[in-house]
Structure 1
Amino acid sequence: MWRAADIPTDSYYEVRAECTDVPKTKFKIKAGKTLSVRKWKAAFSPEGYVDIGRTLDRIHRGGIHPDIRGEVWEFLLGSYDPKSTYEERDELREDRRARYTVLKAECRNLFPMIGSGKYVTAPILLENGEPSQDPIVLEQLKLENGEPITMVKETDKKILEWKLTLHQIGLDVVRTDRTLVFYEKQDNLAKLWDILSVYSWFDTDVGYCQGMSDLCSPMIMLFQDEADAFWCFERFMRRIRANFRATDRSMGVETQLGSLASVTQVIDPKLHQHLEELGGGDYLFAVRMLMVLFRREFSFGDSLNLWEMMWALEYDPEMFAMYEDPDDEAKGRAKSIRHYGKFEREVMKSGGKVGEAPLPISVFLVASVLKDKSAKLVAEARGLDDVVKILNEMTGNLDARKACTGAMKLHKKYLKKVKKPP
Structure 2
Amino acid sequence: MWRDAGAPADSFYEVRPECTDVPKTRFKIRAGKTLSVRKWQGAFNPEGQLDIAKTLNRIHRGGIHPSIRGEVWEFLLGCYDPTSTYEEREEIRQRRRIQYATFKEDCRQMFPVVGSGRYITAPVITEDGTPIHDPLVLLETNPGSGPLIPQESNSQSNSSNSMEPVTDPKIIQWMLTLHQIGLDVVRTDRTLVFYEKQENLSKLWDILAVYAWIDKDVGYCQGMSDLCSPMIMLLEDEGDAFWCFERLMRRLRGNFRCTDSSVGVETQLSNLAAITQVIDPKLHQHLETLGGGDYLFAFRMLMVLFRREFSFCDSLYLWEMMWALEYDPDQFTVYEEPDVCSDKGDGSKGKAKAIRQCGKYERENLKAKNSQAPLPISVFLVASVLKDKSTKLLTEARGLDDVVKILNDMTGNLDAKKACTGAMKLHKKYLKKAKKP
**TM-score normalised by structure 1 residue count:** 0.94
Cα displacement string for residues 193-234 of structure 1 (whole angstroms, at most 9, x for unaligned residues): 000000000111110000000000000001111000000000
Partner of 1:316: 328
Q: Secondary structure at the match of 1:94?
A: helix
Q: CA deviation at 1:336?
A: 3.0
Given candidates 162, 185, 191, the residue that maps to 2:197 is 185
1:191-210 equivalences under 5 Å are 191-210=203-222
Deviations for 1:358-397, whole angstroms, at most 9, x for unmatched residues?
Answer: 1110000000000000111111111111100000000000
- Indicate if the aligned counterparts of 2:326 and 2:377 stay in contact, CA closer than 8 A: yes
Superposed CA offset, 1:307-347 (max 9, x none): 00000000001121498478979424224321000000111
Aligned partner letter, 1:155: T
Question: Is 2:418 aligned against 1:402?
Answer: yes
Kept after mapping to 2: 8 A contact 1:117/1:186: yes
Q: Deviations over 1:136-158 (max 9, x none)?
A: 47985637x95322233221100
Q: Aligned partners of 1:397 and 1:158: how far apart in 2? A: 44
Residue 165 of structure 1 is matched in structure 2 by 177
Q: Secondary structure at the match of 1:171?
A: helix
In structure 2, the CA distance between the partners of 1:367 and 1:229, relative to structure 1 (3 Å rule), is same
- Identify the residue that residue 28 of structure 2 maps to in structure 1: 28
Amino acid at match of 1:374: S
Corresponding residue of 1:71:
71
Please say if 1:419 is aligned against 2:435: yes
Aligned to 1:147: 157
Does the residue aligned with 1:128 lie in a helix, a strand or coil?
coil
- Report the Cα distance in structure 2 between the residues aligned to 1:420 and 1:184, rounded to whole angstroms: 55
Give the distance between the partners of 2:390 and 2:32, measured in 1 at CA: 35
Cα displacement (A) at 1:6:
6.7
CA-CA distance at 1:8 after TM superposition: 3.2
Query: What one-letter code is carried by the residue in structure 2 that aligns with 1:21?
Result: D
SS of 1:117's equivalent? coil
Calculate percent identity across the aligned residue pairs: 73
Summarize the alignment of residues 315-334 of structure 1 with structure 2, pairs less than 5 Å apart. Answer: 315-318=327-330, 319-321=332-334, 324=338, 330-334=348-352
Residue 85 of structure 1: aligned partner: 85
Match of 1:360 in 2: 376
CA distance in 1, matches of 2:334, 2:87: 18
What secondary structure does 1:281 align onto? coil
Work out whether residues 264 and 271 of structure 1, in 8 Å CA contact, stay in contact via their aligned partners in 2: yes
* Structure 2 residue identity aligned to 1:375: T
Q: CA RMSD in A?
A: 2.2
Asked if the contact 1:120/1:141 (under 8 Å) is kept, the reply is no
Asked if the contact 2:218–2:257 (Cα under 8 Å) also holds between the matched residues in 1, the reply is: yes
Farther-moved stretch of structure 1 (412-421 vs 216-225): 412-421
Give, in angstroms, the shift of residue 357 of structure 1.
Answer: 5.0
For 1:8 and 1:98, locate their aligned partners in 2 and report how far apart those are by CA, in whole Å.
36
- SS, match of residue 199 in structure 2: helix
The reply to whether residue 284 of structure 1 matches residue 296 of structure 2 is: yes
1:129 to 1:228, Cα distance in 2 relative to 1, 3 A: same
Alignment correspondent of 2:96: 96
- 1:181 Cα offset (Å): 0.2
Separation (CA, whole Å) in 2 of partners of 1:332 and 1:33:
35
CA distance in 2, matches of 1:76, 1:406: 21
CA distance in 2, matches of 1:5, 1:113: 39
CA distance in 2, matches of 1:375, 1:397: 17
Q: How does 1:225-244 map to 2 (within 5 A)?
A: 225-244=237-256
- Confirm or deny: 8 A CA contact 1:344 1:357 kept in the other structure: no
Q: Which segments of structure 1 move beyond 4 Å, counting only runs of 4 or more?
A: 4-7, 133-141, 325-329
2:265, 2:302 within 8 Å by CA — same for their partners in 1?
A: yes
Equivalent of residue 364 in structure 2, options 336, 346, 362 = 346
What 5-or-longer segments of structure 1 have no aligned partner?
Answer: none
The question of 1:257 aligning with 2:266 is answered: no
* Contact 2:13 2:313 (8 Å CA) reproduced: yes
| Distance in 2 of aligned mates of 1:286 and 1:297 | 11
Change (3 A) 1:395 1:204: same
Contact 2:8 2:28 in 1 (8 A): yes
Aligned 8 A contact 1:347 1:357 in 2: no
Q: In the alignment, what sits opposite 2:389?
A: 373
Alpha-carbon distance between aligned partners in 2 of 1:171 and 1:48, rounded to the nearest angstrom = 42
1:298 pairs, out of 306, 310, 313, with 310
The aligned length equals: 416
